[in-house]
Amino acid sequence: MTQARRRPSAALVTAATQVHVRRAYADGRQGQLHLTTAYPSGGGFDERTPLICLHPAGASGRWFNALLPELGKDRSVYAPDLPAHGQSDPAGAVLGVTDYIAAMGDFLDGMRLRAADVLGHGLGAVVAAELATQRPEQIRRVVVIADEAGRKPQAAQQTARIEGSRVAALNQPVLLLYPSEAGVAQRRPDATKPQHTVTALPHSVEDLYGSQVKELARVLLGFLG
């Protein structure tokens, strides 16, 4: 079981936005995955491409609590807890990135999603990039949110992978977002394809998921369409 990671403080707000936010479970090869879902109060699941949000190592789908009501106004949004994270089933052995990728593949298949966009932060971005590589016809757009520079050695290693050849090789439209701590001037990759966009935001990660969540949602929705 991974150590719990502090998430940005935020509360779920649904009344003003008319978005339903619910908890659920999905079956997979690593047991049951816990997830939080958001969707318009009137349904409308097919109005926009569904979005899968994948959290950093040591966190859970709760990482996106404040963002879900902002994004779920016109599309279904899913924030699963990766295996052995949050309220998903514990693992019988140490899991690696390939296990998380396989579990998210099971989730996509179980939900019978013909197309999906995927957003990943830290470890979640590594999983998102690999899913997009393996499922180019199913994953439509990819958002990568870089982890903060210097937070933890593990996070730094994951970020190096995010910014490596997998993301650069993706043929889908990709948005790489860098919070203020992420050192965008020193660490951002070259945009090697015209469909890849690199954007720096002048906010901390905690603010992006808290006081500046509407700004983050605006940027994301502008890219996702």
Task: For 98-153, write each residue's pLDDT tens digit.
Answer: 999 999 999 999 999 999 999 999 889 889 999 999 999 999 999 998 876 545 45
> Cα(163)–Cα(161) distance, rounded to whole angstroms?
5
Identify the pLDDT of residue 161: 54
Confidence of residue 169 (pLDDT cuts 50, 70, 90): confident
pLDDT of 92 over the 90 cut: no
Please report how many Cα atoms fall inside a 13 Å half-sphere around the Cα of residue 95, on the Cβ side. 24
> Taking each helix axis from N to C terminus, what angle separates 123-134 and 97-111, rounded to the nearest 10 degrees?
60
Confidence of residue 163 (pLDDT cuts 50, 70, 90): low
Kindly report the average pLDDT of the chain as a whole number.
Answer: 82
Percent pLDDT > 90 in the chain is: 52
Percent pLDDT > 70 in the chain is: 77
Confidence of residue 182 (pLDDT cuts 50, 70, 90): low
> Cα(149)–Cα(158) distance, rounded to whole angstroms?
11
Which residues are paired to 43 by β-bridges? none
pLDDT of 9 over the 50 cut: no
pLDDT of 211 over the 80 cut: yes
> Cα(181)–Cα(151) distance, rounded to whole angstroms?
9
